[in-house]
A and B are shown apart, each in its own frame.
Chain A
Amino acid sequence: GDSVTQMEGPVTLSEEAFLTINCTYTATGYPSLFWYVQYPGEGLQLLLKATKADDKGSNKGFEATYRKETTSFHLEKGSVQVSDSAVYFCALRGVGGTSYGKLTFGQGTILTVHP
C-alpha cells in the first residue's frame, strides 16, 4: 500500500537558518503530494501541494518539488522564523485501487526555531 516517510525530528534551528525536511513516498501511479502544518493545539493547515511530476508547490517562503525519479517531496525554506515552529506533515493522495482518494500521512516532523 501507499506510504510516506519523513525525516525524524525534532529539528531545532536558529532564526534565519535554512530548513530542509525530507519526505519520500511509495505509491502506485502519480499521486498528489501535500505538506500540511500543525500549530500547537490546532488542526492541520495546507501549506503547499503538487499534483504532477516536476511541479513545485510554494507558499509563505516554503517550497517543495515533486520528484518522480526519486519519489521525494522535500520541504525547504531559505530563512526560518520563530513563527515557523510547528509540526510539519508530508502526505500523499493515492490514485490506484483501494487507495484512490485516500490521504496517507508521514509521522510528522517537529520544528523548533530559536531567536
Chain B
Amino acid sequence: DGGITQSPKYLFRKEGQNVTLSCEQNLNHDAMYWYRQDPGQGLRLIYYSQIVNDFQKGDIAEGYSVSREKKESFPLTVTSAQKNPTAFYLCASSIASGSNQPQHFGDGTRLSIL
C-alpha cells in the first residue's frame, strides 16, 4: 500500500545532541513537508521541499535542518540549537506544492527530552 512512513514513533534526545527523524514516501509525490505540533497551537511548518535537492524554510526553521537527496526521503534533523524540541513531528507529502491536491500525512514522531 502507498503511504508515508515516519520512524521512530518515539524518540528521546539528550542535552546537546542532534537527532534525525526519518520520513519515507512511496506515493511518487514531488513535494514533502515537515510540521511541528504543540498542544493548542495546531501545526506549524518547519521546512518544505518541492523537488529533489531543493528545500525552503517554513515558519519555524530555526534549530532544524533537512535534506532531500532522494524523491522518496525527507529526513529532519533536530539540532542542539533547538532549545524546546519536545513536540509531535509530522511529515507530509503532496503531488505538487502548487496544486490544489491535499497533503498526505505520516503517523508522526513524538520527540521528548531526557
Contacts and interface: CB of A to CB of B under 8 A. Distances in A.
Contacts, number: 52
Contact of B107 (A36, A42, A101): A42
A11 interface: no
Interface of B: 4, 6, 31, 33, 40-43, 45, 48, 50, 58, 90, 92, 96-100, 102-108
A15 to B, nearest CB: 26
17 contacts: A32-B100, A34-B102, A41-B108, A42-B107, A44-B43, A44-B90, A46-B102, A46-B103, A89-B43, A100-B97, A101-B97, A102-B45, A102-B48, A103-B43, A103-B103, A106-B42, A108-B42
Contacts of A32: 100
Contacts of B92: 44, 103
Contacts of B105: 36, 43-45
B102 A101 contact: no
- Interface extent on A, as a size class? 20 to 34
Contacts of A43: 4, 6, 90, 105-108
Given A46-B102, A49-B102, A89 B45 contact: no
- Residue of B4, B31, B100, B106 ringed by the most chain A CB atoms within 10 A: B100
